[in-house]
Chain A
């Protein structure tokens, strides 16, 4: 949409920038944006900059919010949405920032333009513009939230797979949560890296925290065991609960290639015996 020389919206916005800003801030305060004095101050600055950016954008040919002249306005909106998303504002609270601009702008248009046709056209332009900016805000908000979720997923993945050194030559890998293929990949990698770093020859995989073992999970476990074996480390699977033992047999999963133990303690004893170490009662200062 091209701006005609005397686009009424552009004229009105430019002439009443200060007034619109004041009304807009009032509108924002009324629509329940939370905040203390410092945040109010920041809000005022952001709003003023944003209004100036809109005026900048409108000075060009594109009055519908697309084009390079709007880069500044979009940038402000992105930053605002991002900071609000991380502060825990709701999407509507975030979008209200833009939508509350409607009322003051429309009021000014109504009082300034007498001709009905011009007024209608100006309304239409303003609505299109503000809706577009509002949608952009919501999208930016959504994007930030998704980034947060993705980061949390990554962190969860890393947090949930610690490899601990139980004894010289003995590693333990307590698995917690469901094993899917991407987690298996992470588990496998961290286990193998740790085997290289510590030179361990026995790894105990404890599945007490794995809620269910189906054929897929079992297959992933076997893969991890096979990979560890290729690196020269024997694996023991421990923490098999009674129900899981039943499920494994019912599913026909073959775990005969791997040593399995009911508890981590039993597995640890086996590992100690294999590595030639032992713990005696009263041995306080264990290696």
Chain B
């Protein structure tokens, strides 16, 4: 079964979404990610969507859900690498991902997480 890999980088987890999301894949990702946050005692989750060309309300909701679940488990979520076209689409769809932090790329996202979890 296809899965989205979850990489561990210190106290943070890195998820790179490179394939088209569908329901089953999203559910698997939510399962895997929550398990890993608990197992690794992760403090932050980076979701890299820089290879996504197309988003819809489903992916938008999925990202919000993941952020919500992570927050409950005391890990912060940062979405990184969103493309301009994707950002415009999400805004036009009325999804502004409130409560999800964002950064331009993985490097900045990592800096953001480090800055906020040290304090």
Hey, which bits of chain A sit against chain B, CB under 8 A? 185, 188-189, 192-193, 195-196, 199, 201, 223, 226-233
**Are the C-beta atoms of A189 and B80 separated by less than 8 Å?**
no
CB of B108 within 8 A of CB of A232, answer yes
The answer to whether B104 and A230 have CB atoms under 8 Å apart is no
Cβ of A223: which chain B residues have Cβ within 8 Å of it? 91-92
B88 close to A227 (CB less than 8 A)? yes
The 10 closest A-B pairs by CB, nearest first: A192-B84, A232-B103, A226-B96, A230-B87, A232-B104, A227-B87, A232-B102, A227-B91, A226-B91, A223-B91
Q: Are A230 and B91 in contact (CB under 8 A)?
A: yes
B82 within 8 A of A: yes
| Interface SS majority for chain A | helix
- Selected contact of B104 from candidates A189, A196, A227, CB within 8 Å: A196
Size category, B interface = 10 to 19
Residues of A within 8 A of B86 (CB): 230
Determine whether the beta carbon of B91 is less than 8 Å from that of A231.
Answer: no
Q: List 19 A-B contacts (CB under 8 A).
A: A188-B88, A189-B88, A192-B84, A192-B88, A193-B84, A195-B84, A195-B104, A199-B105, A223-B92, A226-B96, A227-B84, A227-B90, A227-B91, A230-B82, A230-B86, A231-B104, A232-B108, A232-B109, A233-B104
B97 contacts the other chain (CB 8 A):
yes
How distant is the Cα of A228 from the Cα of B83 in the complex, in angstroms?
Answer: 10
Q: For B104, list chain A residues within 8 Å (CB).
A: 195-196, 199, 201, 231-233
Which residues of chain A are near B84, meaning CB under 8 Å? Answer: 188-189, 192-193, 195-196, 227, 231
Task: Output the nearest chain A residue to B79 by Cβ-Cβ distance.
Answer: A230
- The 8 A CB mask of B92-119 against A (1 = contact, 0 = none) is 1000110000111100110000000000
Q: In whole angstroms, what is the CA distance A162 to B87 when docked?
A: 20
Q: What is the chain B residue whose CB lies nearest that of A200?
A: B104
New contact pairs (18) apart from A229-B96, A230-B82, A232-B80, CB-CB < 8 Å: A192-B84, A193-B84, A195-B84, A195-B104, A196-B84, A199-B105, A223-B91, A226-B91, A227-B84, A227-B87, A230-B79, A230-B86, A230-B90, A230-B97, A231-B87, A232-B102, A232-B108, A233-B104
